[in-house]
Structures are given as structure tokens and as C-alpha cells.
């Protein structure tokens, strides 16, 4: 299937895997809920951006959107606060075995992540290789050093093995990615 | 008109005033754009949260949402980073002259703002009194001291005059609310 800009893919995952608790998105939602309930961090996934064209009001109390389109996001999907620090990241899954295609991330999102570092926030990618069941956290500094040095359309799996941090999978929290973030207090 | 939970109101404002650059939301969007372009802060409005029920695929490249509902937001509408600090706020307009009804803000959002302070972020409300053309920034500390002391369903206009900070309206930036935020570096 052809998923332009990852937008339909996202929605596809939402309806197909959402309730089975298996997608990266669902794992992160459960993890962020755990972080919030245990007062570790306040991190949320942003709603999917859409453009609304038509709304019906079948009753005074209810509005039903009858026509809308998915929009290309200008920022990353996740942000929040951890130990007083601003946290910002994008999360993607890939079925590729040898590399993570950069087409999965919009240019806007890459520029956004860069600005986060410039403004003193903590930015990173979370990338899951479905073929290996492995989920890596790639800090901005390593992500941008790759982009500056290499002129490639994808990041090799071996780069994640070398520079990424493998996120351990557990029950609670499901994906303890914050454990891998160092915050100087 | 009866706007339950402010949801239809928000959408109504979006279509009615959006293009005239007159609503508080539009003023804040322009201001945040200015802050981003001038590298002052990276702050965005979150997309409106919706639940999608039906999607059509008229072509491989395009998805059209054919049925969706507005959801009650669990967080505030705006967040981002300023001088290395996590920023989080909710913005509302009221046509009332003597007070700002607390029914404009969901309980979830109030709890969310409280947590932001606990985690070392900067949280506040931006409230516009349309009758006076005045827009106030009310810091979390003053907002929560009101909630703790008073058992009222609305915050008097006089409270904003006394404890809020009046945001000056200009051309660029349109609503310079960050000028009123003190960040200890």
C-alpha cells in the first residue's frame, strides 16, 4: 500500500492495531499514562492535525464533522515536561530491515526538532524496527550529526545499533524511554 | 446559542473570525508565529482533538474523513519552550462583563495546569474580556490561590485587574504575552 507522507499509515495503524495495544503509538500512550499517573513526567501525544470543511449540527448539543482532511503536521507528535525540562520527540515504526527511511519524517518535523535543541529542550526520535521487535531512542545530537555527515535517504539499522539507545520493554512502564534521558538538575 | 463545553464555540470562532485575524486564537497564532520566526520561543497551538469514525479513500493518495466528533481535551491548547523552560497555557475569550465563568475551562485542564507547576514548568491562563478589549495573563500561582480561597463558579473581572497582567496589543508581535513571563536563567 502507498501511504503518502505517512498520514494514512498513521490512521491505518490507529484503527488496525490501536485496540490490540501493539503499535508503537499504543505502547507510548500506555507509557505516558504511567508516567503521568506516577508523577514522573507530563507527556502527551498531540491530536492528529486535520482541516475541517463541513460540520453538521444534528442537535444543539452535538456537532458532527462531515468532511475533513488530514494535514501534514508542522511539529512532532509528542511533547511535555520531565524534571523541569521540555521534552519533544517523534516516534515511527518501520518494516525495513536494513534502514529507517527518512521519508517517514517530514522536513518540518526535522527543523522543529533542531529548534528544540537550540532553545534548550530535549529532542529525540523513537524508532521501532518491527522486523527485530527493537525500539531505539536516537538523541538529537546523534540524529543531526548523521544528517550533517551523510547525504542519505535513510539511516542504517547499524547506526541505531551503534548510536541509538535500545529501549527495554516491560509491563509497567511498557517502554521506559525516559530512563535513557539524562537530565542535569 | 448553547455551546456545550466550549467545543462548538471554538469551531464557530474558527470559521467566523479566523480569517479576519480578530479572535484571541488568531491573535495568539500570529504571535506564536512571530516568536518562532524570530527565534524567541517555540510555541504551538495543539490540533483540536477529535474521534474519527469513518474515513473514505477516494484515491490512493487521499483520505477524506466522513464522520468525526469533537473530543473533550485532556490538556491545554498551547505549549512549547521559552528560554529553556516548558510553557503551557489555556486561552479563552468571554463576553461577560463582570466575571470569567470557570465553566469555560474543563476540570482536566485545571488539573493539567497544576501538574505543570509541580513539574517545574510555567503555566498560566490568557483570558480576553471582549467587552473591554482587554486580554489578561493570569499566572498559575494566582489562579490556584483564587481556586483554593474562593468557592465560586467564576473569577471576577476585578480579580484579573488586580492579579492579572494586561497584555499589550501591538502589530508585531500582536499579543506580546511572553514579555510578562519572568524566567530565571
Each residue's pLDDT tens digit, B5-58:
444 444 444 444 333 447 999 999 999 999 999 999 999 999 999 999 999 998
What's the confidence (pLDDT) of residue B18? 37
What's the confidence (pLDDT) of residue B63? 92
Question: What is the rounded (10 degree) CA torsion for B47, B130, B164, B171?
Answer: 70
Task: Spell out which residues of chain B touch residue A84, defining contact as CB-CB under 8 Å.
Answer: 86, 119-121
Out of A113-127, A144-158, B57-71, B159-173, pick the least confident: B57-71
pLDDT of residue A87 exceeding 80, the answer is: yes
Out of A110-114, B46-50, B91-95, pick the least confident: B46-50
Out of A149-153, B101-105, B128-132, B144-148, pick the least confident: A149-153
Mean pLDDT over residues B152-168, rounded?
97
Cβ <8 Å between B119 and A83: yes
CA distance A158 to chain B (A): 32
For residues A79 and A62, what is the distance between their CA atoms, to the nearest angstrom?
30
How buried is B2 (Cβ within 10 angstroms: 0-12 exposed, 13-18 middle, 19+ buried)?
exposed
User: Residue B119: which of A42, A71, A74 has the nearest Cβ?
Assistant: A42
Give the best residue of A3, A13, A42 to mutate against chain B (max B CB count within 10 A): A42
Mean of pLDDT over chain B: 89
Task: Spell out which residues of chain A touch residue B50, defining contact as CB-CB under 8 Å.
Answer: 47-48, 50, 65, 68
Report yes or no: A43 and A81 within 8 Å, Cβ to Cβ.
Answer: yes
Cβ <8 Å between A69 and B66: no
Report yes or no: A40 and A82 within 8 Å, Cβ to Cβ.
Answer: yes
Mean of pLDDT over chain A: 89
What's the confidence (pLDDT) of residue B3? 42
Cβ <8 Å between B50 and A50: yes
What's the confidence (pLDDT) of residue A84? 96
Report yes or no: B111 and B120 within 8 Å, Cβ to Cβ.
Answer: no
User: Residue A47: which of B48, B66, B82 has the nearest Cβ?
Assistant: B48
CA distance A126 to chain B (A): 20
Q: What is the pLDDT of residues A56-79, one digit of tens each?
A: 998 877 899 999 999 999 899 999
Interface of A with B in 125-184 (CB under 8 A): none
More confident residue, B21 or A80: A80
* Residues 6 or more apart in contact with residue A36 via CB below 8 angstroms: A42, A43, B115
Out of A114-123, B67-76, B92-101, pick the least confident: B67-76
User: Residue B11: which of A14, A55, A74 has the nearest Cβ?
Assistant: A55
State ipTM. Answer: 0.86
Cβ <8 Å between B47 and A48: yes
Report yes or no: A35 and A43 within 8 Å, Cβ to Cβ.
Answer: yes
Cβ <8 Å between A86 and B84: yes
For residues A120 and A39, what is the distance between their CA atoms, to the nearest angstrom?
22
Cβ <8 Å between B85 and A86: yes
pLDDT of residue A2 exceeding 50, the answer is: no
* Residues 6 or more apart in contact with residue A54 via CB below 8 angstroms: A65, A66, A67, A68
How buried is B5 (Cβ within 10 angstroms: 0-12 exposed, 13-18 middle, 19+ buried)?
middle
pLDDT band for position A182 (cuts 50, 70, 90)? confident
Report yes or no: B88 and B78 within 8 Å, Cβ to Cβ.
Answer: yes
Question: What is the rounded (10 degree) CA torsion for A164, A168, A169, A173?
Answer: -110
- CB contact B85 to A (< 8 Å): yes
Cis peptide, bond prior to residue B108, ω within 30 of zero: no
More confident residue, A180 or A185: A180
Cβ <8 Å between B68 and A68: yes
What pTM did the predictor assign? 0.87
Task: Spell out which residues of chain A touch residue B18, defining contact as CB-CB under 8 Å.
Answer: none
Mean pLDDT over residues A27-52, rounded?
96
Cis peptide, bond prior to residue A173, ω within 30 of zero: yes
Mean pLDDT over residues A147-164, rounded?
96
For chain B, give the percent of residues with pLDDT over 90.
81
| H-type alpha helices, A17-139 | 24-37, 107-118
Task: Spell out which residues of chain B touch residue A57, defining contact as CB-CB under 8 Å.
Answer: 8
Report yes or no: B47 and A47 within 8 Å, Cβ to Cβ.
Answer: yes
Amino acid at each position: 500500500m502507498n501511504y503518502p507522507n505517512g498520514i494514512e499509515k498513521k490512521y491505518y495503524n490507529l484503527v488496525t492495531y490501536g485496540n490490540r495495544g501493539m503499535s508503537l503509538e499504543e505502547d507510548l500512550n500506555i507509557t505516558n499514562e504511567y508516567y503521568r499517573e506516577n508523577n514522573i513526567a507530563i507527556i502527551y501525544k498531540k491530536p492528529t492535525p486535520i482541516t475541517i470543511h463541513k460540520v453538521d449540527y444534528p442537535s444543539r448539543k452535538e456537532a458532527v464533522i462531515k468532511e475533513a482532511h488530514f494535514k501534514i503536521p508542522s511539529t512532532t507528535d509528542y511533547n511535555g515536561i520531565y524534571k523541569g525540562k521540555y521534552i519533544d520527540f517523534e516516534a515511527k515504526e518501520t518494516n525495513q530491515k536494513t534502514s529507517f527511511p527518512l521519508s517517514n519524517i517530514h522536513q518540518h518535523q526535522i527543523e522543529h526538532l533542531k529548534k528544540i535543541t537550540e532553545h534548550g529542550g530535549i529532542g529525540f526520535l523513537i524508532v521501532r524496527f518491527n522486523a527485530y521487535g527493537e525500539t531505539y531512542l536516537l538523541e538529537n545530537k546523534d540524529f543531526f550529526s548523521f544528517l550533517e555527515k551523510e547525504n542519505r535517504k535513510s539511516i542504517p539499522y547499524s547506526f541505531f545499533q551503534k548510536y541509538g539507545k535500545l529501549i527495554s520493554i516491560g509491563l509497567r512502564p511498557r517502554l521506559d524511554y525516559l530512563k535513557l534521558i539524562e537530565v542535569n538538575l
